Amino acid sequence: MSQKPFVLSTKVVVRDDQGRCLLLRRSMSSKNNGGKWDLPGGKVDAGEAFDEALLREVAEETGLDVALKRTLGAAESDVDERKVTYLILSRTAK
Domains parsed from the chain with CATH numbers: 6-93 (3.90.79.10)
Q: How many CB atoms lie within 10 A of CB 41?
A: 25
Task: Specify the higher pLDDT residue, 25 or 93.
Answer: 25
Distance CA 85, CA 20 (A): 25
pLDDT of the residue at 52:
95
pLDDT > 60? residue 92: yes
Residue 58 contacts residue 50 (beta carbons within 8 Å): no
Q: How confident is the model at residue 94 (pLDDT cuts 50, 70, 90)?
A: low
Q: In Å, how far are 56, 59, 73, 93 from 63, measured between CA atoms?
A: 10, 4, 24, 13
- Quick: pLDDT tens for 17-56: 888 999 999 989 887 778 999 999 999 999 999 999 999 9
Helix H or strand E segment including 58? helix 50-62
The percentage of the chain sitting over the pLDDT mark of 90, rounded to a whole number, equals 65
